[in-house]
Structure 1
Amino acid sequence: MAGAQCCENPPVLTSAFGEGSVVESLGGLKAYTVGSPSRNAAVVLVSDIFGYEAPNLRKLADKVAAAGFSVVVPDFFYGDPYVPNPEKPLPAWLEDHGTDKGFEDAKSVIEYLKSKGIPLIGAAGFCWGGKVVTELAKTADYVNAVVMLHPSFVKLDDINEIKCPTSILAAEHDMITPQEVIKQFEEILSTRPEVESFVKIFPGVAHGWTVRYDTDDDAAVKNAGEAHKDLLDWFEKYLK
C-alpha cells in the first residue's frame, strides 16, 4: 500500500545534527536555521513525515545555505514526528498532523521572514511537505518559487491553481504519486505558459530518495545529489 512506501527507511532523528542552530520560536515554530538572516532570499524546507531532525534533511539545509540562502527547517509536528508504531499507524498520525495545519504554520513562518526584511522566499516540500508548498504556490502572497520532491496528497486541481514558478522532482517508482500522475501534472503546467515550470522523473529511484537515502550507498547519494542540484538551480534562478 502507498502508506507503507511512505514509511520506508525511517531516519534516525537527532536534534544535534547540522552546521546551523535550533531556535525555539520562529514564526511560532521551533526551527533549525542555517545561513545569515541578513540575506535577501530565504528557503523554507518543509519536511516529510519524519520531521525536521532528519540528518539528511539538515545536510541539505546546510548545502542550500552554502549556496547563499538563509534556510529555515520548521518543526511542523511540534515534537511529534511520525515514528512507525503498530498501535498508531500512519493514517491515525495524519489525523493529528494535517497538511492544512502545515500550510497555516508555513504562512506564519514566511510572514516572520518577510517582517525581518527578507524579500524573496522559496519553499521546498518533501512528501507531506509537497502538499504544503503546493498550497503556498496557489497565491502570489507567500513564495516566489517552490520545489516539490516526491510529493504526496497533491491533486490535479491543485496544479491548476498554482501561481508561482514550480519544479516537480519525482521518482520513477512511487506508489503514492505515480509517474503517470506526475505526467498529468506536467501536461497541465504545459498549458499554462504564465507559470514557469520544470518537471523531472528520476529513473530507478523510489519515493523518499532525496532525503531518506543511505549515505553509504554511492548510487543513492549520487541520485539524491542530482535532485539537490536541481532544487538549487531552481532557487538560484528565481530567488537571485
Structure 2
Amino acid sequence: MSGPQCCENPPALNPSSGTGHVEEIGGLKSYVSGTSDCKFAVLFISDVYGFEAPNLRKLADKVASAGYYAVVPDFLHGDPYNPENTERPIQAWIKDHGTDKGCEEAKPVIESLKQKGISKIGAVGFCWGAKVVVQLAQTDEYIQAAALLHPSFVTVDDIKGVKVPITVLGAEVDHMSPPELMKQFEEALNAKPEVDKFIKIFPGVSHGWTVRYKPEDAAVVKAAEEAHQDMLGWFQKHIK
C-alpha cells in the first residue's frame, strides 16, 4: 500500500472548522452536523488527513442541510498523516492505520446511530476511507448505501463482494484508482444486476479533488461540487 498521489494537496487542518460540533459517538470523537432526531444518517470516512479537514466538514454540513445527520468520526485517533514528517512515510503510517481496524471501529458508531433512532445509514469514503466503506458494504447489516470518492486500495474483489447500492466517483488522473481500474469496477458491478450502481469518471481532475480542492481553482471546485451532488443524489435515492 503506497503511492504519494494519495497524499497530494494536504489540507490545512482546523479543529474548529464547520458549523457542527464534536462529540463522542460509538467510542470515537466525531464531528457532527445536523439534528439527531433525523431518521437518516450519512457516515463520512475521511482520507489520510482525518476529520479536521475543513473541506470535508464543509461537505458534511452541506449533507446535513439536505436533511441528514452527518457524522465524521476520527478513525485516525488524532494521528492524521503528516507529509512533513519524513521519518514516517505513508507506508509506515498505513501500518498504524489499517482499514480493517477502521471497519471494526465503524460498527459501534453505526450501532450508536441506530440507538439514536436512525433507520437508514449511507456511508461515503474518501481515498483511505473508501476501503473502509467497501468493507462495510459487504453486507447490508451496517449500511444501506455506499459512495466511494477517488478510492485508494480498493480491489476488484472488494467490489465483487458489495451487497448494497454503490456509487464510485473517480478522477481521470489517478494512479490509486485509474480509469482502467474504474472500468473493471464497473464490469464487476454490471455482473451483479441485483446491486444498483453508478460509476463516473471526472475529466481533468486528480485524486483527492472532492475534498482537497483549492477554493481559487474554479474548474476543480466545479467538478468537486458536481461530485458532491452526485453523492447526495445517490443517498437521496437509497436512504431517504
TM-score, normalised via structure 2 length: 0.98
Deviation at 1:143, TM superposition (A): 0.4
Q: Which position in structure 1 is the counterpart of 2:57?
A: 58
Listed one character per residue, the Cα deviations across residues 95-131 of structure 1 (whole Å, up to 9, x for unaligned) are 1000001001111110110111101000000000000
Equivalent-residue separation in structure 2 for 1:95 and 1:158 (angstroms): 20
Superposition RMSD in Å: 1.0
| Count of aligned residue pairs for this structure pair | 239
**Which amino acid in 1 is paired with 2:31?**
Y
Distance 1:3 1:148 in 2: 18
| Number of the residue aligned with 2:69 | 70
Name the CA distance, whole Å, in 2 between partners of 1:75 and 1:100.
15
Please report how far the alpha carbon of residue 140 of structure 1 lies from its aligned counterpart in structure 2 after TM superposition: 1.0
The 5 A counterparts of 1:62-211 are: 62-84=61-83, 85-211=85-211
Partner residue, 1:47: 46
Q: Deviations over 1:32-65 (max 9, x none)?
A: 0000100010000000000000000000000000
Offset, 1:2:
5.8
Structure 2 unaligned segments of length 5 or more: list them: none
Aligned to 2:184, what secondary structure does the other structure show? helix
DSSP 3-state at the match of 2:228: helix
SS at match of 2:202: strand
Amino acid at match of 2:68: F
Q: Residues of 1 paired with 2:172 and 2:87: CA distance?
A: 31
What displacement does 1:145 show?
A: 0.1
For residues 185 and 218 of structure 2, what CA distance do their matches in structure 1 show?
A: 31
Partner SS, residue 72 of structure 1: strand
**Structure 1 contact 48–127 (Cα < 8 Å) conserved:** yes
Contact 1:2 1:175 in 2 (8 A): no
Q: 1:124 aligns to what SS in structure 2? A: strand
Q: List structure 1 runs of 4+ shifted beyond 4 angstroms.
A: none
Gaps of 5+ in 1: none
Judge conservation of contact 1:14–1:55 (CA < 8 Å) in 2.
Answer: yes
Q: Please say if residues 2 and 91 of structure 2, whose CA atoms lie closer than 8 Å, have aligned partners that are also in contact.
A: no
**8 A contact 2:2–2:90 mirrored in 1:** no
* Partner SS state of residue 3, structure 2: helix
**Structure 1 residue 3, shift from structure 2 partner:** 1.6
Give the whole-Å Cα distance in 1 for the aligned partners of 2:81 and 2:2: 16
**Matches of 2:217 and 2:7, distance apart in 1:** 20
Aligned AA (2:33): V
The corresponding residue for 1:9 is: 9
Letter in 1 for 2:118: I
In structure 1, the partner of 2:36 is: 37
Contact 2:146–2:164, Cα closer than 8 Å, also in 1: yes
Task: Give the superposition deviation at 1:88.
Answer: 0.4
Distance 1:5 1:154 in 2: 15
Percent identity reads 59
Q: CA deviation at 1:238?
A: 0.6
